[in-house]
Amino acid sequence: MEKLINVARLAQKNSYSPYSKYRVGAAVLTDDDTIVSGCNVESSSYGLTCCAERVAIYSAIAQGHNKFKALAIITKNGGTPCGACRQVIWDLCGDIPIYIVDEKGKIDETTTKELLPKAFDGSLLK
């Protein structure tokens, strides 16, 4: 968990957030214990921005990983994942531990299910 958070902290430094100035770092732990990180990447057309969580998860998938064990997110004030990211985390990672960290190192440990109760998912499309 400590390592995952440290990798997320390093990724936060790469945040491209000239519009909001809200720097977010994320790191996902795969089933083979690889850690893949992401940061938020903003666009001048705000809606095209991609959150750190999704950058991390999509990068991991692009690198050939498809099972995930944990996710860490770091911001200055311990902000929680947005609704869109909660859905993506549920779809691609399932119910995993999520560590939400602030700049002082305070860790709020939660789970996907806690963040997105009664989730919609692909099982409803069968």
Residue numbers annotated as active site: 53
Contact 40, 17 (CB under 8 A): yes
Site for ligand THU in 32-71 (CB under 6 A): 40, 42, 49, 51-53
User: What are the structure tokens assigned to 90, written together?
Assistant: 């549920």
Name the residue type at position 83: G
Quick one: tokens of 82? 């947005």
Shorter beta-carbon distance to ligand THU: residue 29 or 52: 52
Count the site residues for ligand THU by CB under 6 A: 14
Alpha-carbon gap, residue 25 to 10, rounded angstroms: 7
State the nearest-atom distance from the C-beta of 20 to ligand THU, in Å.
4
Type of residue found at 34 = T
Residues that bind ligand THU (CB under 6 A): 17, 20, 22, 24, 40, 42, 49, 51-53, 79, 81-82, 85
